[in-house]
Each structure stands twice: as structure tokens, then as C-alpha cells.
Structure 1
Amino acid sequence: MANQSSPKFSNRFAQLPQSFFTLVNPQPLENARWIIWNSQLADKFGFPTDVPQNALKQQLCGETVPDHFTPLAMKYAGHQFGVYNPDLGDGRGLLLCEVADKQGKLFDLHLKGAGLTPYSRMGDGRAVLRSTIREYLCSEAMAGLGIATTRALGMLESDTPVYREKQERGALLLRMAESHVRFGHFEHFFYTNQMAELKLLADKVIDWYWPELASAENPYAAMFTEVMERTALMIAQWQAVGFCHGVMNTDNMSILGQTFDYGPFAFLDDYDPSYICNHSDYQGRYAFNQQPRVALWNLSALGHALSPLIDKAEVEQILAQYEPRLQQYYSQQMRAKLGLHTVCANDGEFFSSFFALIETTHVDYPRFMRELSNLDSGDGSAVVDLFVDRERAQQWLDSYLERTTLEVDNVGQPVSPQQRCQQMRSVNPKYVLRNYLAQLAIEKAEQGDFSQVNALALLLAHPYDEHFAYQDYANLPPDWGKGMEISCSS
């Protein structure tokens, strides 16, 4: 890797005490080979834009460990489905090192599917092809939507057999994240009474990510406020685009408010607030409409873990800001998606009618929002055609068009339909990672054909563009593809 454009590496987490992690070398897969290489992301870090081979490929897939890598498995805990589990940690992924982007910001380089660690519990430390494809595509989809997320530098398949419900092929994901510190890291040190380590972790989080907070009256309260703010924004964005995470355990919550650990996720097809995408979520704890509440529950768990550093009253005061901030962010998101930025007297009633329409009719949410964005080039029939009750849909559409006439710009001039719709098309995607599309791509990939994986990666990186050559990917899902439940098994 020693060439003019070589990335710059560091190992800050490896310099922490041994109680934070265990050093573990990757266990190589048999005949690991590239499925996809994220050239655009690679260029930001000085990696070659061409698919890397030879020494670089061997290092990135764990076949060799260069001196500037310090592979380690992080130790953390967490509440899983509301129940505290102390026996968590990186069970199939390793933090290899940190890499600086061209602006000097450090990102973790993490290898998922790298083999057994002390925290694998009863698992084998491996990832399979289907889950690796899903995480790669969804992290790129979220980045394309402008939602804070981990990314993936690339993924590889192999000839190593991995046994789940059936025999599958082992795979690797090269994940990039500004941080892998989770709510569960703080919980681990709190519940094991390692208070010096708890304080050290908080100090490092402030130093690494928010050094400006060090001068606050209580830097730890300022840090918790920042986590709350970022979480509120992330959840508002999830709800606005119709994203279901599926497994919002505290060990899957990033302290930077980034979408993290893609498992049984889904994007809404028909608008169903109670939709449960996780096959294992028998109680519906992580249903789509429960995500805002669960995020607050998770923040409360983090606040409790930080109680040695922050007074209880101050923790509660910060938590009390979550719902107002979430509502503020969500209102901003939905106003942009509907093209209704001007605040008017009867907006409360109008937005209530909007949600009543989409909830009771279970209209296809992404298509409905996109068709509303195209009203400058049609008569609205494409919107009405999405509904069984066309009369009700037409009545609502008429009220919506009447409401849009009240829109004015920053200098008080009326906003034209063309202006409004152009802005709406920049926030209402044409292409969404529907579960059925991911499933079709996976089935082809398991037969050695990665054409649909590559097509989806292209579309999801730029989901607002028309991509006329790929129109079929914007079609409504078939009946079998709606409301799919996904297993956690990976």
C-alpha cells in the first residue's frame, strides 16, 4: 500500500486498556474474491479506484495482517428486545484500523465476517452472502438518501461453507464508520462497575468526535445532548422515508446517530404504521411506528449508564428535549416531501388528513410521494390510480393542490408548481431498496450473477435521478414482495 495515494492509518481504539477489546487476527475465507468495490468511497480515502488485487486485497480480506493494522474485537453489552445482555461484543467482525479521508477525518475500517472472537457466543463468526449484500446495498441506499450511516468499501464472497438454515457461502463486508462506539459500550462499563473505564470512554468520545464540548460546563451532559440530537434527527429521517430498522437494541445504536448494523431492515411498500419487518420480533417491539418510542427508551438506557457522570435531573432534562426535537425534525422532513414549507393556519388539519389517507388506504408510500412530486407534468391521475377508493383520493388531491397555492418563497413571491415539484423530486426518491428487489438480486448472486446487485448499487447511490434505462426497478412490488419479514440469521 506504499504509493503516492496510500491511505493514512491510525489505531486509537487499540491504544485503550485491554478491558475495551481483545486482539484477534482474522480467519481467512477460502478463495475470497470481490463482488463489488466502492470506487467512489475508496477514492475519498486514497485507496485505488480499481478493484484491488494482490497484497492490498490480501490485507483487506484478512489473509495477511500488515503492521499498520491492529485487528481487535470490541467488548460491549446491551439491551436486546428490552432485556439486558452482558455477553455481547464483536462476535463476527474486527476493527482493523482507522483510515483518514482526504480532509483528515478518521473512519474505522471494519471487517465483518472475519471469524471467531471471544464474543462469538454460539456463533461461527461468519457472515453469509445474502446478509452481506443486504447490508452493502442498504448502507449505500441510506447514504444516497442523505441519512447518516455506516458505508461499505467493498464486499467479497468465498468458497467457505457457512451453515444457517441451509449451507451458504461465507462472505466479507468492509465497513467504514466514523465510530463503532455504541450505547452498549457505556452500558458494559456501567453494569460491571468499571467507572474509571466509563469515564475514560466518555473522555475519548468527546476528544475524538466533539472536542469543542470539552469546554462546556459539564462536557458529559453536552455529549449526551449531542447524542440525543443526532438520534432524534436520524429517527425523524427514518420515519419520513419509511425505513424500518428491525432490531433497535442498544448495542445497535451508534453514539454518532448513524444508521448502524443492518439486519432485518425494510423500507415500507404499502403504508402500514404497525409493520414489523423482523421475523423474530414476536411482540412488535420494533414495529415501524414504535421506532421513535424505542429510540427514547434506548437513550434513557444510555442516560442511566452515564449517571455516574451526569446528575439524574440533568439526564431527565436532556431526555425531555428528545420528543420536541424529533417532532421538529420530522415536520421539516415531511414539509419538504410534500412541498409545503410555508406555515399556514389550517396545516394541522391538513396534515391529519394526509396521514389518515395513507394509513387507512395503505397506499404504496414511496410511489405516492414520488407521484406527488410529478404533478407539474401530469393531471394527477397517476396519484389517483394508486388508490382503490379513487373518489376519496381525488378529494384529498384537490385539497392538496389548493393548499399548494398558498406557498410563497423567501421574498413572499408565489411558488410555481414547477419550482415546488423540482424541490420535491430532490427529497422523494424514485428508487427505493424494496425487500423484494434485494431478494431477487440475492437469488441471482447466489447463482453467480451479480448484475442486479451492481444495478441496485448504482440506482441507490442516486435514488432521486430518473435512470430511464432502469425503469423496472421503480415498479410497484408484486403481491408476494409486499410486507416481507426478514430473519436476523446471517
Structure 2
Amino acid sequence: MPRNPDPVAYRPAPIIGEVAQWLGDPVAPADFPQTVLRFRNDRAAAQVGLQSLPDEDWIRHFGRFEPLADNLPHPLALRYHGHQFRVYNPDIGDGRGFLFAQLKDGGDRILDLGTKGSGQTPYSRQGDGRLTLKGAVREILATEMLEALGVETSRTFSVIETGEQLERGDEPSPTRSAVLVRLQHSHIRIGSFQRLALLEEHDHLRELVDYCLRHYPGAEPPDDAPDRGEPAVRLLHQVVERMAELAASYMVGGFVHGVLNTDNMNITGESFDYGPWRFLPRWEPGFTAAYFDHAGLYAFARQPEAMRWNSAQLAIALRSICEAPPLIAAMDRFGPLYEAAMARRWCQRLGLKPRGDEVDRQLVSLSEAALRSSNEPPDAFFFRHRGGRNADHALGEIMAQYEAVENDHDYWQGDRPETMLIDEVEAIWAAIDRDDDWGPLHAKVDALRGMGEVHRA
């Protein structure tokens, strides 16, 4: 996804209407007591031609959810199942969100605008369909930090405070409410395929495969992939490639998502749906972000395995419309793709040009050993060793074999890197909660975007 695109014209593309009858349900948004605009992402809006909307129109569309011109006539809550902590649950779906609109970017790729906290749906179960303002602020911070680090992530497009007092068991209550809008390439989850497979809706499953392949224009499996022309095989190859890349980006970024269920994995391999996320304070493989993850299923070092397992659940769902051997061949690519992405991204974060050989993997191994022995925060480690500097012993010897990229920007000469540890997240929220002071949040967003520009340069 391009990060700083030139502004484009608004181009609606509500293609999900072709499959909406069996994929989701039309719903109405909540009627909120108030709508106060707190965050609008004009950088993301420029990618889909909405950056020039006046604030009052922005609120009408993203707080009251009046349809965008020539777009979806009503919001659509999608139906899906999912494995939640490896337990299959058929009783889920979009319970506090919906797909609101679809648009094209300058490269003709489809982008979805989806919501969180927009009200109850047929899948809300006992939930109120709402989002806390703190949860929205945390999602802004997560997506901005991940985008700056080069992780494929949804973008927080809009946050509007909605004037309700919510009761929650895991934070002081009552607490303020908000509705959030995300921009990402697809709202379709692995759980969408699981549902159709379980219900034996094989024709709809084939239609969903064809629909999802429209998100991958021109992408093909390797030339030697068996049955590479079969649509289900083509899709699985694309998902495996992107899941392996996402897993590596989490590890190099020192990020722990917290809840990597199959209903939280979309088919374009974008990170989204940020609940109990954390960035590592130190290199701790067993670090967990969710207080309820008692077994450490989604601990930091287990995330690649979790994404491979989730990809396998997609393969299992596709097995009902495709032979197994070509699907197994696609799944066999995950490990090598992950190792290659891990080595490449590790070099890139250190400001070294990847060699593409065994030396890259040795660099990762020696760096991890140094992180474990020193307890140095990962962000500080990558910052301090940028371009191969400040390394000694075996790590210094192997870094000396690399060519450094341009590292003379003032950012790299500073005292410390930008980080996103929990204490700062809580401090930013406290300023809002206590004093309605949004200055620290906006300052942090600006700083993270500046860091992202430096990383991309």
C-alpha cells in the first residue's frame, strides 16, 4: 500500500454488492448522542479522494454514516466464523462494525472503509456494539507506529467521539465512547471462508475466491506451483506470501498483536483489529499482550506459527472445492518465505543492504542473542546499531560484511528512537481523559510519521 500517495479523485467501487446477499446483512448505524471529530487522517484520505471533505461532511459520513456518493447504499455487517484461541466458534460475525464503503486508489486497487464501534448488528450477541474512546486512541497509536515501521496495516481513518458512557470490566468505567473508521484493502477474513465451508456452500465459496482474487491484480503463484491456474490455489499462494511477510514484520518490529484468531486475519495480509497489543520492552519470546492469553498461545515468538496455522485453516476450508496436493504445496512455502522476509527486514531496519544469503540469517541469529543477553529494548538496539555502528565481537564482525544505506539523517544522530511502549500510551490517554488535552496524541502522530519518512528514505 503506497504510504504518501499523490491525491487522487474519489472513485467509488462497491464491488462487494455482487456477493453481499450471502456474505453479509444490511444494518443501520447507531444514532449517537453527539459526534465530535477527534482525528481525521487526511494522508490516508488523499489515497481515495476524500481529503478535501469539510469537517461537517466528514462527520455526516463517518459519524452518522450517510452513504458516500455512488457507494454502498447501506452498511454491511459481514458473516463469518472463526477459531478463537484454537476453539472453533460459529457464533460470530461483525458484532460492532460493518463495511461502509469501497473505493479505488491511484493504482486501481480496491480499498475498504470499515468501522469499529458503530452499533449493534445481528452478530453482537450480548455486546453493546460500541467502542471506548481509549480503545480508539490506542488503535491510532498502534497503526501509526506500525505504518512507520513498514508493517502492512490498516490505517486509522477517522475517530469521532460519540457522547455515551460505557461500562467495561477491563478499564475504569463509565468511560467515553467513540466510533472508528479503518481503511484497508479487504474486510474479508479467513473466517469468512470457514463459515462457507462448514455450511457446505461450495458455489458461494468459489464466488468468494473469485471476489478476493480481484484484490491481487496480476499476482500469480510461482511458475512451478502445481495447479497454479486453479483459483483457490492462486488465492492461497497470495495469502501465504502475505501472512509470512506480516509475521516477519511483527517480529522485526517487536510487536505483539495479542489476538491472532482466524476472524482477525484478512485475505490481503494486513494487520488490523487492535485490542490488547504491545511493543516489546525487551526481547522476550514469551511476552504476551493479552491478559487472558494464559497459555501464551499468541506470545511474541509464537506469532509466526499462529499465522501459519491460520493460513492452514484457509487451506482446509478451500479443500472443499479443490484437491489437497496443490494447497499443501502452497502451505509448504510459508517457512522459507518467512525466513527470507525476516532476514531482509532485519537488515533493512538496521540500515544495511540485504545480501540475500546465509550471512543475513547469521546476522539475525547474532542480533537476537545480543538482545537476549543485554535486555536492551529492541527499538534502542536497532537505533544504536544503525548502519552497523556500535557493534563489537561477532556481531561487529558480521556487520562489517555489509554495505550501509544512507544513515546521516538527523534522526539517526539523535539521542533515542521513537518508541511506543505502554507507559507512553497510558500517558497520552491520561492527558485526554483527565484534561481533554489532545496535544500529546497529535504530537506523537507527527513524530511517528516523521520517523516513517526517515525509515522509508
TM over 0.5: yes
Matched, 1:107 2:94: no
Post-superposition Cα deviations, 1:133-178, rounded to whole Å, max 9, x if no partner, equal 1112211222222211111222111211111132111101111111
The one-letter amino acid paired with 1:454 is H
Query: How many Å separate the matches in 2 of 1:155 and 1:267?
Result: 22
Query: How many Å separate the matches in 1 of 2:397 and 2:228?
Result: 48
Partner residue, 1:470:
none
Secondary structure at the aligned position of 2:90 is classed as strand
Paired residue for 1:335, among 335, 347, 354? 347
Partner residue, 1:370:
383
Query: How many Å separate the matches in 2 of 1:194 and 1:84?
Result: 18
TM-score by length of 1: 0.82
Partner residue, 1:28:
31
Change in 2 beyond 3 A, CA 1:424/1:309: farther
Partner residue, 1:411:
none
Partner residue, 2:369:
356
Query: How many Å separate the matches in 2 of 1:465 and 1:97?
Result: 29
Query: What stretches of structure 2 of length at least 5 have no aligned partner?
Result: 1-6, 222-226
Query: How many Å separate the matches in 2 of 1:343 and 1:110?
Result: 38
Matched, 1:93 2:68: no
Query: How many Å separate the matches in 1 of 2:335 and 2:277?
Result: 24
Change in 2 beyond 3 A, CA 1:129/1:319: same
Query: How many Å separate the matches in 1 of 2:88 and 2:279?
Result: 28
Partner residue, 1:185:
192
Query: How far is 1:420 from its partner?
Result: 6.6
Matched, 1:122 2:122: no
Partner residue, 1:54:
56
Post-superposition Cα deviations, 1:2-53, rounded to whole Å, max 9, x if no partner, equal xx98723232213325221110011122111111111222222222447x33
Change in 2 beyond 3 A, CA 1:307/1:374: closer
Post-superposition Cα deviations, 1:108-140, rounded to whole Å, max 9, x if no partner, equal 112221100000011000001011111122112
Query: How far is 1:64 from its partner?
Result: 3.9
Secondary structure at the aligned position of 1:108 is classed as strand
Secondary structure at the aligned position of 2:79 is classed as strand
Query: How many Å separate the matches in 1 of 2:158 and 2:367?
Result: 40
Change in 2 beyond 3 A, CA 1:5/1:289: closer
Check conservation: 1:35, 1:155, Cα contact below 8 A: yes
Change in 2 beyond 3 A, CA 1:170/1:187: same
Partner residue, 2:213:
206
Paired residue for 1:260, among 258, 272, 288? 272
Query: How far is 1:306 from its partner?
Result: 0.4
Query: How many Å separate the matches in 2 of 1:423 and 1:188?
Result: 51
Matched, 1:458 2:446: yes
Query: How far is 1:316 from its partner?
Result: 1.6
Query: How many Å separate the matches in 1 of 2:20 and 2:411?
Result: 50
Query: How far is 1:296 from its partner?
Result: 1.1
Check conservation: 2:418, 2:448, Cα contact below 8 A: yes
Partner residue, 1:487:
none
Query: How many Å separate the matches in 1 of 2:388 and 2:65?
Result: 54
Partner residue, 1:435:
422
Partner residue, 1:401:
396
The one-letter amino acid paired with 2:78 is M
The one-letter amino acid paired with 1:433 is M
Alignment of 1:258-407 (within 5 A): 258-338=270-350, 339=352, 341-342=354-355, 351-373=364-386, 380=390, 397-407=392-402
Matched, 1:12 2:15: yes
Partner residue, 2:224:
none
Secondary structure at the aligned position of 2:92 is classed as strand
Change in 2 beyond 3 A, CA 1:436/1:16: same
Secondary structure at the aligned position of 1:263 is classed as coil
Whose radius of gyration is greater, 1 or 2?
1
Change in 2 beyond 3 A, CA 1:159/1:304: same
Query: How many Å separate the matches in 2 of 1:306 and 1:179?
Result: 19
Partner residue, 2:47:
44
Post-superposition Cα deviations, 1:401-458, rounded to whole Å, max 9, x if no partner, equal 3333333xxxxxxx4x7857779959xx921222221111111112311111111111
The one-letter amino acid paired with 2:311 is L
Change in 2 beyond 3 A, CA 1:136/1:345: closer
Secondary structure at the aligned position of 1:276 is classed as coil
Matched, 1:238 2:232: no
Query: How many Å separate the matches in 1 of 2:346 and 2:151?
Result: 15
Query: How many Å separate the matches in 2 of 1:285 and 1:14?
Result: 37
Query: How far is 1:286 from its partner?
Result: 0.1
Secondary structure at the aligned position of 2:98 is classed as strand
The one-letter amino acid paired with 1:62 is R
Query: How many Å separate the matches in 1 of 2:360 and 2:304?
Result: 22
Query: How many Å separate the matches in 1 of 2:335 and 2:228?
Result: 24
Secondary structure at the aligned position of 1:462 is classed as helix
Partner residue, 2:3:
none
Query: How far is 1:213 from its partner?
Result: 5.1
Query: How many Å separate the matches in 1 of 2:367 and 2:185?
Result: 37
Partner residue, 2:147:
143
Query: How many pairs does the alignment contain?
Result: 434
The one-letter amino acid paired with 2:14 is N
Query: How many Å separate the matches in 2 of 1:72 and 1:264?
Result: 26
Query: How many Å separate the matches in 2 of 1:261 and 1:196?
Result: 29
Query: How many Å separate the matches in 2 of 1:105 and 1:347?
Result: 33
Matched, 1:153 2:148: no
Query: How many Å separate the matches in 1 of 2:179 and 2:132?
Result: 8
Check conservation: 2:343, 2:364, Cα contact below 8 A: no
Percent identical among aligned pairs is 26
Query: How far is 1:273 from its partner?
Result: 1.1
Secondary structure at the aligned position of 2:125 is classed as coil
Query: How many Å separate the matches in 1 of 2:364 and 2:245?
Result: 20
Query: How many Å separate the matches in 1 of 2:336 and 2:9?
Result: 45
Query: How many Å separate the matches in 1 of 2:361 and 2:212?
Result: 40
Query: How many Å separate the matches in 2 of 1:311 and 1:425?
Result: 52
TM-score by length of 2: 0.87
Secondary structure at the aligned position of 1:93 is classed as coil
Query: How many Å separate the matches in 2 of 1:406 and 1:54?
Result: 56
Query: How many Å separate the matches in 1 of 2:38 and 2:398?
Result: 48
Secondary structure at the aligned position of 1:10 is classed as coil
RMSD over aligned CA atoms reads: 2.8
Matched, 1:163 2:167: yes
Check conservation: 2:95, 2:121, Cα contact below 8 A: yes
Partner residue, 1:172:
179
Change in 2 beyond 3 A, CA 1:237/1:65: closer
Secondary structure at the aligned position of 2:426 is classed as helix
Post-superposition Cα deviations, 1:350-370, rounded to whole Å, max 9, x if no partner, equal 654432221233221111210
